[in-house]
Structure 1
Amino acid sequence: MCSSRYLPVVMIFLAIVSTAANLLLLFPGLTYTYLVENHVTPEATWCTGIWASGFVVLVAVRGFASNNAKNGCCHFRADMLCRIIYSCVAVLVAGLCFQFNCTGLTKGPQCLHNGTEGLQWERPLKIKNLNDPSYLYMPERWASACEEPRNVVVWNIVLFSTIMAVNVLQALFCVVQVLSAIHGLVFGPGKKKVVHA
């Protein structure tokens, strides 16, 4: 199964990207003061890009990297069954991470906002009525929505979107791995073709 050769490397790269994006979400403006003062978007502090899309998916990759050359049909099928289980866990975790980060993206960042009662820390771009359009479709509001941290709206949009894109790719690769493992489970290891010169 040629897909298994490069899949662990790709999945590790995606986990690193997700972890880095979530770490950056914790430090808007590349400063630690907002995190210390608890002025960071709650979905960023849940760190799903680190523990879910990062660590748990890396654990699942262990099943992808197992040896296909095990002796015997039973060993091969047991390996394929393990791959299915690991891949299904990774798909579930990637989906969970996507949902958390989608919530963070749609609610907007927590920031110092000049509201009706003066400057206060809140989520000014959060949709209050179901009929209201999302701030994501109104880029003209992004610059004026928050006083601090600077450019936090774009910061959150880019980083949450990055984690969500990683989640989609992780889930897609894992579904391909599940289908490949089901094929191996049903049809066995198959015969290797001998090519004569």
Structure 2
Amino acid sequence: MYFGKYARCIGIILIPFAVLCIMADLLLHLPNGEIKYAEREQLSPMVGLFEGLIGGGILMIFPIVVFIGLDEDCYSCCGNRICGKSSSMLASLIVALIGMAGGVYCFSVSALGLSQGPYCLTDLGWCNPFNTTNGRYLTNYTTWSQCSEPSHIVAWNVTLFSILLVLSGIEIILCFIQFVNGLVGANCCCNQESRECSEIEVYEYEAKGSKNDETV
């Protein structure tokens, strides 16, 4: 059966995406590599939600660990190694949902971050100058000059939020694939488990009967 191998492959693929989400989130807190804006709380409210760190990173650890260990994590229910595969597959369904939830959180917040634009210094002071544009500022590059500080903050935010949007979208797709894979695998393993456990019980019953006959 290849369900566990597929899960292991997906788990390995998720690792770089989770790492990149964490890195992108950290960079959002450091415009131009400077920490002073984070210390002064002069960043977009969306940045403070840690969508990449929590959603695309930390929550993704659970599916990564379970998916990678799924190929070997087969505990016995009837004294048979094969019979434990169904419980492992069911566990993969749960962590796949956790991974999808984390990806959706990261994707949603990143989309809002792109829509609202950065928090920056303008002629009117510190504010969100693009908050009411519904994202139209993204294609109107001439308006980006409204933000004088941090320098190039619009390009910085747009680039990193876009990266998070793409990464989290891929994470959602991968976790969904494993969720479907887990459903199919759990069903197959449950059927095999039922057959294997029945055979074991018959064998034990026959062995016990033979032993009783010998005793008599």
TM-score (norm 1): 0.86
Q: Are residue 84 (structure 1) and residue 84 (structure 2) matched? A: no
Deviation at 1:9, TM superposition (A): 2.1
SS at 2:148 equivalent = coil
Q: In the alignment, which residue of structure 2 is the partner of 1:194?
A: none
Deviation at 1:74, TM superposition (A): 3.2
Q: In the alignment, which residue of structure 2 is the partner of 1:195?
A: none
Alpha-carbon separation, structure 1, partners of 2:135 and 2:23:
30
Q: In the alignment, which residue of structure 1 is the partner of 2:210?
A: none
User: Higher helix proportion, which one?
Assistant: 2
Q: In the alignment, which residue of structure 2 is the partner of 1:127?
A: 132
Deviation at 1:154, TM superposition (A): 0.5
1:61-87: CA deviation from partner (whole Å, max 9, x where unpaired): 111112435354431110110001100
Alpha-carbon separation, structure 2, partners of 1:14 and 1:80:
23
Query: What runs of 5+ residues in structure 1 fail to find an aligned partner?
Result: 192-197
Contact 1:125 1:145 in 2 (8 A): no
Residues 101 and 52 (structure 1 numbering): CA distance in 2 closer, same or farther, change over 3 Å? same
One-letter amino acid matched to 1:136: L
Q: Which structure would you say has the larger Rg?
A: 2
Contact 2:9 2:68 in 1 (8 A): no
One-letter amino acid matched to 1:146: C
TM-score (norm 2): 0.79
Alpha-carbon separation, structure 1, partners of 2:190 and 2:160:
41
Contact 1:73 1:189 in 2 (8 A): no
Q: In the alignment, which residue of structure 2 is the partner of 1:150?
A: 151
SS at 1:121 equivalent = strand
Deviation at 1:157, TM superposition (A): 0.4
Alpha-carbon separation, structure 1, partners of 2:177 and 2:135:
36
Q: In the alignment, which residue of structure 2 is the partner of 1:98?
A: 107
Residues paired across the two proteins, number: 183
Alpha-carbon separation, structure 2, partners of 1:150 and 1:99:
26
* Identity score, percent: 24
One-letter amino acid matched to 2:140: M
Alpha-carbon separation, structure 2, partners of 1:55 and 1:21:
14
How big is the alpha-carbon RMSD for the aligned residues of Structure 1 and Structure 2?
A: 1.9
Q: Equivalent of 1:11, from 10, 14, 30?
A: 14
**Bigger CA drift: 57-66 or 20-29?**
57-66
SS at 1:65 equivalent = helix
SS at 1:39 equivalent = coil
1:9-49: CA deviation from partner (whole Å, max 9, x where unpaired): 22111011000000000011111111111101111122121
Deviation at 1:8, TM superposition (A): 2.0
Residues 184 and 16 (structure 1 numbering): CA distance in 2 closer, same or farther, change over 3 Å? same
Alpha-carbon separation, structure 1, partners of 2:188 and 2:135:
51
Q: In the alignment, which residue of structure 1 is the partner of 2:181?
A: 180
